[in-house]
Amino acid sequence: MTDARAGRATEPAQEATVTQETGTGVEERTSSPQATPEEPTAVATRSTTTEKPDLEEVQREGLEVESRSVWRVAWSRFLRHKLAMGSLILLLLIFAAGIFAPLLTPYGFAEQDLFNPTQGPTVEARHFFGTDQLGRDYFTRVLFGIRTTVRVALIVALLSTLIGTVIGAIAGYFGGWVDNALMRLTDLILTLPSLAVLLVAAALLGNGIPERVAIILALIFWTQLARIIRGVFLSLREKEYVEAAKALGATDIRIIFRHMLPNAVGPVVVNATLVIATAILVEAVLSFLGFGVQPPTPALGQLIDDGKGQMLQAWWLVVFPGITIVLICLCINFLGDGLRDALDPTQRRTSA
């Protein structure tokens, strides 16, 4: 009896999943926590309703078998996170709008219409976000701005995740002086006033090309992830399966990247997501200060910079790119929350 209860207590997520999938039949039983005498029936119902291929085997052996991989459990958990799913859909729409910008708008992003400068948003004239002081369609510019900004952000996320993961993993796995050296390097970069460094780097390397801005940002952004991954690896290192892999004669590289990294995917993915949001914000700041992407290529921060002079007469010049930035960042943060809930089994939601 005690065993059954203990087993149950450790699998709240599976229990919850089953409840979702099988509907009311099981729900009645699982909802009453004191119903331990009914546990065997609950288990039986569970195995008959969830898995078809394993059904016979389960019955023959009387084993409790949950036939799903870690990823599929996480995915089904993520699907039920309404805020995160909503955010994901909205985010995909915004990104798609950026990617397919040339198809969505008849204007080019640098196409000027000097007879219609600084027009307010209208549907009839097909300037949904109005035009700027050179008569360029602002909707088009925002779409292309999303394109640039998102490209920068994705490169930053990818690069900084790569650097941060490798450095954090090596530091955490080997420990000792390797750890010390790498972490002091990380500390060093963290203590630098990043905005000042970004400005200097942009000034020195020359600014303008989105990729270059992205690389500069990535070289500063990897530190946070490196620290987190180091922590994860420090705890993973003590896991028995790591010791077992060592005893099997696996090389250090194999242990780090094949055995431990997949177990650290949760924090990596969550942080990569959040880095995208930060990168978008910082890129916007840089562009606003004139050190980011250079005109005529539109970027969201640079659009705000362009519009700030006429903000009081032409509100749309600041509001539309501003709202876009806020929407993207909010969605990414919600998405990150959802991913964390889904991927990190120790921080499961308590309320449904």
Q: What are the residues binding other proteins (CB under 8 A)?
A: 57, 61, 63-70, 176, 239-241, 243-251, 254, 258-259, 262-263
| DSSP assignments along 220-252, one per residue | HHHHHHHHHHHHHHHHHTTSHHHHHHHHTT--H
CB < 8 Å & 24+ apart, contacts of 131-135? 132/306, 132/307, 132/314, 132/317, 133/310, 133/314
User: Least distance in Å: CB of 341 to other proteins?
Assistant: 19
Q: How far is the CB of 186 from other proteins (least distance, A)?
A: 22
Omega of the bond leading into 296 within 30 degrees of 0 (cis)? yes
Between CA 44 and CA 59 the distance in angstroms is 8
Residues 6+ apart with CB under 8 A from 113: 131, 134, 135, 136, 137
Task: Output 220 or 242, the one with its CB closest to other proteins.
Answer: 242
Q: Least Å distance between CB 15 and other proteins?
A: 14
Query: What are the φ and ψ backbone dihedral angles of 137, each rounded to 5 degrees?
Result: -65, 125
Q: Shortest Cβ distance from residue 72 to other proteins (Å)?
A: 10
Which residues lie closer than 8 Å to 231 by C-beta, 6 or more apart? 168, 172
Report which of 130, 157, 154 is spatially closest to residue 142, judged by C-alpha positions: 130
Name 77's Cβ contacts closer than 8 Å, sequence gap at least 6: 13, 17, 341, 342, 348
SS3 90: helix
Between 151 and 340, CB nearer to other proteins: 340
From residue 105, give the alpha-carbon distance in Å to each of 5, 32, 96, 129.
61, 57, 13, 12
Cβ closest to other proteins, residue 197 vs residue 250: 250
Q: Considering beta carbons, is residue 100 or 241 the nearer one to other proteins? A: 241
Smallest gap from Cβ 144 to other proteins, in A, equals 41
Q: Please, which residue, 239 or 308, has the CB nearer to other proteins?
A: 239
In whole angstroms, how close is the CB of 17 to other proteins at the nearest point? 13
Task: Name the residue nearer to other proteins (CB basis): 44 or 189.
Answer: 44
**Closest separation in Å from C-beta 184 to other proteins:** 19
**Which is closer to other proteins, CB of 73 or CB of 94?**
73
